[in-house]
A and B are shown apart, each in its own frame.
Chain A
Amino acid sequence: MNVPYAGGMDVRTDYLQEIRLFRSMAAKCWFALLLVVLLVIPAVVEGYLVYLLALAAVHIIIAIGLNLLIGYTGQISLGHAGFMAIGAYASSLLMLKLQFPFLLAFPVAGLIAGLFGLLLGFPALRLTGPYLAIATLGFGIAVAQVLVKWDSLSGGSIGIHPPKPSFGPFILSGETHLYYLAIVMMLFMTIGAANLMRSKIGRAFIAIRDSDIAATAMGVNLTLYKTLAFAVSAFYAGIGGSLFAHLVGFISPESFNLLVSIQFLSMIVIGGLASILGSILGAILLTALPYFLSGIKNLPMVIYGACLILVVMFEPHGLRGRWGKIRLYWRLWPF
């Protein structure tokens, strides 16, 4: 009945099974255990690891957003650092200049980034593949340059110190507080993405990826869903950017350069396209990797690049695909 095939995927036998978020009691238990582990981590590990985990959570949010756009909808973005920058600066500046409380600035920053995503989505309607890649590349760099030039607003290349976020009188200062904030947001956004992909909208995204002309023929409104994919993806990047700003405590246009966009692209490719689990794995791996490699001179770039090439050549489904194969191997063992 449950016949797995090469990808390690399983066949679902009815629609309810297909759209269920947790597919078993065991899944719920694992999830509860994960929550407990995430909760107690700051008490057991050192501060910088807590910080690194919080950074990984931020990267996960952005990677999932990017995967919604690239992996699920089949569009491409080489400018996600731009959306991240918009989120980071919007939330910091709303708090600094307009004295917005964090609780308001944070979602507004995401929405502003989402709005820019929507705007970029319109030209994207006419562009495919490489043209879209160049357009988004240009967008990402243009955002950084505008931030450098518009220094009366953004502080220019000197950068700004985002204020510490607070909930009413309660100020989130240490990394532990920010860690909990990042983790909660990460869980929230992950479940949000999973739910989105189970809905009509998610199905429309996938239909567009598989063939936009066929999707139109089936009644999917291309204009609506393509721009929506950009907006949602940019919203994720904006939320991530806002968290990033408050977590790192210092942002400058340099923090959002082309390499950052490429890094997020690498995360989802190495982790696995069109997979939320893949985004998570890729984000964790590439957040941790530089700190394992920082002792090796010059080699990080080479290793990083070689990983990208090798994954595309030999493991097109990324870590997630490999994980599926390993599972399959053990499930079928010793056959």
Chain B
Amino acid sequence: MKRADRTGRPTRTVGLLICCLLVGLGGVNSLFAAEVGITDTTIKLGTYQPISGPLAPYAVLGRTIEAYFKMVNDRGGIHGRKINLLIRDDGYNPANTRVVVRELVERDKVFAFVGGLGTPTGLAIMDYLNDHKVPHVSPASGYSGWAHPPKRYLFAQSTNYAVESRLLTKYAAEQLKAKKIAVFYQNDPFGKEGLDGVTDMAKRKVLPLIATVSYERTDTDYASHAIKLLRSGADTVLLWSSSKPTAALLKEAAKIGYKPKWLSSLVNLDPVMFKLAGETWEGTIVASSYTLYSSPEAEPYRQFMRKYLPNEPVGGFSVGGYAMAEIMTEALRRAGRDLTREKLVQALETFKDWNGVMAYNITWGPNRRQGQNSIFFTKAEKREFVKTSDWLSLD
């Protein structure tokens, strides 16, 4: 009897569990003398990107950062060190971000993060990185909560949605002479921040906001959205929407003969819009927070794209990636040869009205963590974006 008992199911359960757990015991804490992620010849950086899943097209941003560092390394690196960027896939799922970021910090021991993509993903690890004193430069999202309140190790870069939406509304009132505006927005943190900014401006009597129409990322048919906007009678529609819904909406609106002035958030400053929306995209006003990708000043960027990313399109998310990488490179250069996380933070705090090739007017300071507060406007004309205003900011 006793012998037969030895084969009980819980025995197997327990034995197998132990095996599984022991496999997990791979890593052991180690002590280190130099700063984390730094050796004599390398700097280890990390980032999280949606390489798989519905938002995979955005991951070109991470690939651009990687390619930029490759260019830096080809030119001899920074203070004799090469940059090694570890990209991890989180599929835009905050629970995954949490794991991959901890893995990067605790197992791979990265020195700092650059350009982690997304608002919900970034929110899931914001406090963790700050508590562990790991600098994160330029999270790739215009969420206003990164810099407000300021966190010592988090450096938000591009103009946030809250500022951008106020500038867009102001532009609609002052330059486009809009009388009644409507907002078309994605029902998520990005769209909501845009909507909040416009609502706030409307309350301050800048412009009457007469309709708000939201959509879900999963919608396929935009006819009812277009009809709703048409019925509102708005003469200008502000767009806080990603590329596909924007194109679909513009086409539907054209079909039913609704022709307001379209004014779009900077996410649509992407040449792909000319393909997706075709003729209907002509005349749309689009904001930009980076140097215009097709302008003469952006020539180094275009050269870089030809050489390092020949298969990726020029414009769009690669512009942001380029700007983030050049900011990080400049900061590492300023931090000097004796690199530590504290020195990187101090170096970032010395940025004052700094312009890169694509990054513009970046200022950080001891208690200031929002790098940029300005945008300019472009107009879609003959399959090109043409600059129509100077850099503008809220006073």
Our verdict on whether A and B bind, yes or no, reads yes
Interface string of A98-117 (1 = CB under 8 A from B): 00000000000000000000
Q: Is the CB of A44 within 8 A of B25?
A: yes
Q: Is the CB of B16 within 8 A of A281?
A: yes
Q: Is the CB of B12 within 8 A of A291?
A: no
Q: Give min CB distance, A299 to chain B, whole Å.
A: 9
B24 at the interface (CB under 8 A from A): yes
Give the residue among B8, B11, B21, B96 with the most A Cβ atoms within 10 A: B8
Residue of B4, B6, B15, B20 near A1 (CB, 8 A) is: B4
Q: With A and B bound together, what is the CA distance between A53 and B187 in angstroms?
A: 34
Residue of A55, A254, A298 near B99 (CB, 8 A) is: A55
Q: Is the CB of A254 within 8 A of B120?
A: yes
Give the residue among B9, B15, B106 with the most A Cβ atoms within 10 A: B9
Give the residue among A33, A48, A55 with the most B Cβ atoms within 10 A: A48
- Chain A residues closer than 8 Å to B120, beta-carbon distance: 158-159, 250, 252, 254
Nearest-CB residue, chain A, relative to B108: A48
Q: Give min CB distance, B220 to chain A, whole Å.
A: 15
In the complex, chain A residues 1-41 whose Cβ is within 8 Å of any chain B Cβ: 1-2, 4, 10, 13, 17, 20-24, 26-27, 30-31, 33-34, 37-38, 41
Q: Give min CB distance, A140 to chain B, whole Å.
A: 14
B306 at the interface (CB under 8 A from A): no
Q: Is the CB of A148 within 8 A of B187?
A: yes
A83 at the interface (CB under 8 A from B): no
Q: B interface, by DSSP: helix, strand, loop or mixed? A: helix
Q: Is the CB of B9 within 8 A of A248?
A: no
A222 at the interface (CB under 8 A from B): no
Q: Is the CB of A294 within 8 A of B88?
A: yes
Q: Is the CB of B94 within 8 A of A52?
A: no
- Chain B residues closer than 8 Å to A22, beta-carbon distance: 8, 10
Nearest-CB residue, chain B, relative to A194: B10
Q: Is the CB of B10 within 8 A of A249?
A: no
Q: Is the CB of B95 within 8 A of A244?
A: yes
Interface string of B114-138 (1 = CB under 8 A from A): 0000011001100110000000000
- Chain A residues closer than 8 Å to B20, beta-carbon distance: 281, 284
Q: Is the CB of B103 within 8 A of A291?
A: yes
Nearest-CB residue, chain B, relative to A257: B93
Q: With A and B bound together, what is the CA distance between A248 and B127 in angstroms?
A: 12
Q: A30-B15, A46-B29, A49-B24 are in contact. Are A23 and B94 (CB under 8 A)?
A: no
Q: A37-B21, A157-B188 are in contact. Are A2 and B123 (CB under 8 A)?
A: no
Nearest-CB residue, chain A, relative to B24: A49
B313 at the interface (CB under 8 A from A): no
Q: Is the CB of B21 within 8 A of A276?
A: no
Residue of B12, B124, B187 near A323 (CB, 8 A) is: B12
Q: A53-B21, A148-B187, A298-B52 are in contact. Are A45 and B9 (CB under 8 A)?
A: no
In the complex, chain B residues 362-394 whose Cβ is within 8 Å of any chain A Cβ: none
Q: Is the CB of A248 within 8 A of B124?
A: yes
Q: A157-B188, A159-B120, A159-B123 are in contact. Are A248 and B94 (CB under 8 A)?
A: yes
Nearest-CB residue, chain B, relative to A51: B102
A290 at the interface (CB under 8 A from B): yes
Residue of B8, B21, B22 near A27 (CB, 8 A) is: B8
Q: Is the CB of B12 within 8 A of A23?
A: no
Q: Is the CB of B189 within 8 A of A45?
A: no
Interface string of B22-39 (1 = CB under 8 A from A): 101111110000000000
Q: A31-B14, A248-B95, A280-B17 are in contact. Are A49 and B8 (CB under 8 A)?
A: no
Q: Give min CB distance, A248 to chain B, whole Å.
A: 5
State how many residues of chain B have any CB contact under 8 Å with chain A: 54
Q: With A and B bound together, what is the CA distance between A298 and B99 in angstroms?
A: 19
B13 at the interface (CB under 8 A from A): yes
A163 at the interface (CB under 8 A from B): no
- Chain B residues closer than 8 Å to A20, beta-carbon distance: 8
A297 at the interface (CB under 8 A from B): yes
B98 at the interface (CB under 8 A from A): yes
Q: Is the CB of A249 within 8 A of B98?
A: yes
Q: Is the CB of A159 within 8 A of B106?
A: no
Q: Is the CB of A48 within 8 A of B105?
A: yes
Nearest-CB residue, chain A, relative to B123: A250
Q: Is the CB of A24 within 8 A of B98?
A: no
Nearest-CB residue, chain A, relative to B10: A27
- Chain B residues closer than 8 Å to A284, beta-carbon distance: 20
Q: Is the CB of B6 within 8 A of A24?
A: yes
Nearest-CB residue, chain A, relative to B100: A294
Q: Is the CB of B124 within 8 A of A249?
A: yes
A156 at the interface (CB under 8 A from B): yes
Q: With A and B bound together, what is the CA distance between A248 and B124 in angstroms?
A: 7
- Chain A residues closer than 8 Å to B148, beta-carbon distance: none
Q: Give min CB distance, A10 to chain B, whole Å.
A: 5
Give the residue among B17, B21, B51, B123 with the most A Cβ atoms within 10 A: B17
Q: Is the CB of B14 within 8 A of A33?
A: yes
B2 at the interface (CB under 8 A from A): yes
Interface string of B44-63 (1 = CB under 8 A from A): 00000001100000000000
Residue of A38, A44, A251 near B28 (CB, 8 A) is: A44
A255 at the interface (CB under 8 A from B): yes
Residue of B21, B103, B127 near A48 (CB, 8 A) is: B103
Interface residues of A (CB under 8 A from B): 1-2, 4, 10, 13, 17, 20-24, 26-27, 30-31, 33-34, 37-38, 41, 44-49, 51-53, 55, 148, 156-159, 161, 194, 244, 248-252, 254-255, 276-277, 280-281, 284, 288, 290-291, 294, 297-298, 300-301, 323, 327, 331
Taking A31-B10, A49-B27, A158-B192 as known contacts, 5 extra A-B pairs with beta carbons closer than 8 A to each other, sorted by chain A number, are: A37-B22, A44-B29, A48-B106, A301-B52, A327-B7
Interface residues of B (CB under 8 A from A): 2-18, 20-22, 24-29, 51-52, 88-89, 92-96, 98-100, 102-103, 105-107, 119-120, 123-124, 127-128, 187-189, 192, 216
9 tightest Cβ-Cβ pairs between the two chains A and B? A23-B8, A48-B102, A30-B14, A24-B5, A250-B124, A2-B4, A27-B11, A157-B188, A48-B106
Can you identify 15 A-B contacts, CB atoms within 8 angstroms?
Answer: A17-B5, A24-B8, A24-B11, A34-B21, A37-B21, A41-B21, A46-B107, A47-B106, A248-B94, A248-B95, A249-B128, A250-B98, A252-B94, A254-B93, A280-B13
